[in-house]
Amino acid sequence: GYHGDLNETFCVGNVDADGRRVVQTAFECLQSALAMVKPGTLYRDLGSTIHRVAQANKCSVVRTYCGHGIGSLFHTAPNVPHYHKNKAKGVMKEGHVLTIEPMINLGHYDDTTWGDNWTAVTRDGKRSAQFEHTILVTKDGCEILTARENEPVMKWDPDLVQR
């Protein structure tokens, strides 16, 4: 079998403007990176695009975690950093399967992991958000393998993330 990796952030209850901003920014960061996916794109270039979108919305990008290749193994090459000036190696080719999963913060990009060795939080205690998809590089762009039914292209709709 094959693995898939997917993440969405939801707003629960009455969320303030900063909370809505970081969630929408995380969505737009992934959306902007997906728009770059096609054969010939350097994996490292995704980070610069994500960084620009985050910075324009007064947010930061976590540097500890990255997207990754995925298939019959869950985490494989390539590593896909989401921050500016990363040193990722590799060029996208048709048939590559990977995740893009930027974590976006209202404060500083530093994070820490709790004693359970699983829960990651911002070091400054400010909120963060993340959206992620597993994608296939096609000859003309990409196919979102983890897309919602009847939603092959990501479009921001605040009603879909509000609970």
- Strand ranges in 2-110 using DSSP code E only, listed in sequence order: 60-61, 67-69, 76-80, 97-100, 103-105
pLDDT of residue 154: 87
* Residue-level pLDDT at 102: 98
Cβ-contact 132, 9 below 8 angstroms: no
Find out whether 30 and 95 touch, Cβ atoms under 8 Å. Answer: no
Q: What is the mean pLDDT of residues 2-25?
A: 96
Q: What is the pLDDT of residue 97?
A: 98
pLDDT tens for residues 42-96?
Answer: 999 999 999 999 999 999 999 999 999 999 999 999 999 999 999 999 999 999 9
Angstrom distance (rounded) from CA 114 to CA 136: 33
- pLDDT, mean over the chain: 95
Which phi and psi angles does 47 have, rounded to 5°? -60, -40
Question: Tens digits of per-residue pLDDT, 16-44?
Answer: 999 999 999 999 999 999 999 999 999 99
* pLDDT tens-digit map of 133-154: 999 999 999 999 999 888 878 8
pLDDT value of residue 153: 82
Q: What is the pTM of this model?
A: 0.95
pLDDT for 1 equals: 87
Give per-residue pLDDT as tens, 94-105.
999 999 999 999
Question: Strand, coil or helix: what is 132?
Answer: strand
pLDDT of residue 150: 84
The Cα-based distances of 74 to 33, 98, 99, 111, 147 in angstroms read 21, 10, 10, 23, 18
Contact 101, 120 (CB under 8 A): no
